[in-house]
A and B are shown apart, each in its own frame.
Chain A
Amino acid sequence: MTAILEARGITRSFGPIEVLHGVDFDLVPGEIHALIGENGAGKSTTMKILGGYLQPTKGELLLDGRPVTFPDQRAAEAEGILMIHQEFNLALQLTVEENLFLGREKRRGPFLDTRAMRAEAREWLARLDCHVDPRARVSDLSVPNRQMVEIARALGRNARVLIMDEPTAVLTGRETDVLLEQIARLKAQGAAILYTSHKLDEIARIADRVTVLRDGSHITTRSADGFTEHAMAEAMVGRELSDLFPDRPAPADDVVLEVENLTVPGHVRDASFKLRRGEVLGFAGLVGAGRTELMEGIVGLRSATGGVKVNGQPLRAGSVRAAREAGLVYLTEDRKEKGLLLGKSLTENLTLLALDRFGRLFIDKQAEDRALTKAFSEFDIRAGDRSMTAGSLSGGNQQKLLLAKTMLTEPQIVIIDEPTRGIDIGTKQQIYDFIAALAADGKSVIVVSSELPEVIGLSSRVVVMGRGHIAGELTGDQITEDAILRRAMGVGELTGASA
Chain B
Amino acid sequence: MTDTTATGAPARRFRVSFQTLGPVLALIALIVLGASLNSNFLSYGNVTNVLARSAFIGIIAVGMTFVITGGGIDLSVGSMAAFVAGVMIMAMNALVPSLGVGVPLVLAGMAVAMLTGLAAGLLNGLLIAKAGIEAFIVTLGAMGIYRSLTTWLADGGTLSLDFDARSFYRPVYYDGLFGIAWPIIVFAVVAILGEIAMRKTPFGRHCASLGANEQVARYSAVKVDLVRMATYVLLGGLVGLATIMYVPRLGSASGSTGVLWELEAIAAVIIGGTVLKGGFGRVWGTVVGVLILSLIDNILNLASIVSPYLNGAIQGVIVILAVVLQRQGKSAD
Contact = CB atoms under 8 A, between A and B. Distances in A.
Nearest to A323: B221
Interface string B260-296: 0000000000000000000110000000000000000
B218 A320 contact: yes
Interface stretch (A229-237, A279-287, A335-343): A335-343
B202 A348 contact: no
A14 B1 CA distance: 7
Interface stretch (B25-33, B149-157, B209-217): B209-217
Contact of B1 (A355, A382, A384): A384
Interface stretch (B5-13, B53-61, B139-147, B315-323): B5-13
Nearest to B15: A387
Interface majority SS (helix, strand, loop, mixed), chain B: loop
Contact of B200 (A14, A342, A356, A363): A363
Given A301-B219, A343-B212, A348-B209, A363 B3 contact: no
Nearest to B280: A343
Given A338-B216, A363-B200, A385-B6, A15 B1 contact: yes
A340 B4 CA distance: 21
Contact of B209 (A17, A352, A386): A352
A339 B219 contact: yes
A348 B210 CA distance: 12
Contacts of B279: 341, 343-344
Given A330-B219, A369-B9, A386-B9, A363 B205 contact: yes
A362 interface: yes
Given A17-B2, A352-B205, A386-B9, A339 B216 contact: yes
A384 B223 contact: no
Contacts of B202: 355-356, 359-360, 363
Contacts of B221: 320-321, 323-324, 353
Nearest to A409: B221
Interface residues of B, number: 29
A361 interface: yes
A359 B213 CA distance: 23
A383 interface: yes
A379 interface: no
Interface string A1-45: 000000000000011010000000000000000000000000000
B219 A363 contact: no
B219 A382 contact: no
Interface string A304-343: 0000000000000000110110000010100001111111
A427 interface: no
A53 interface: no
A320 B202 CA distance: 17
B216 A337 contact: yes
Contact of A352 (B2, B4, B9, B222): B222
Interface string B176-218: 0000000000000000000010001110011011001101111
Contacts of A361: 201
B2 A321 contact: no
B215 A385 contact: no
A73 interface: no
A382 B4 CA distance: 6
A14 B196 CA distance: 38
Given A17-B2, A385-B6, A344 B219 contact: no
B167 interface: no
A301 B218 contact: yes
Interface of A: 14-15, 17, 301, 320-321, 323-324, 330, 332, 337-344, 348, 352-353, 355-356, 359-363, 365, 369, 376, 382-387, 392, 405
Given A321-B223, A337-B213, 13 more contacts: A14-B1, A332-B219, A337-B216, A338-B216, A339-B219, A344-B209, A353-B220, A362-B201, A363-B201, A376-B6, A382-B4, A385-B2, A386-B12
Interface of B: 1-4, 6-7, 9, 12, 196, 200-202, 205-206, 208-209, 212-213, 215-223, 279-280
7 tightest Cβ-Cβ pairs between the two chains A and B: A384-B2, A320-B221, A352-B220, A353-B220, A321-B221, A341-B212, A362-B200
7 contacts: A320-B220, A338-B215, A338-B219, A355-B206, A363-B201, A382-B6, A387-B12
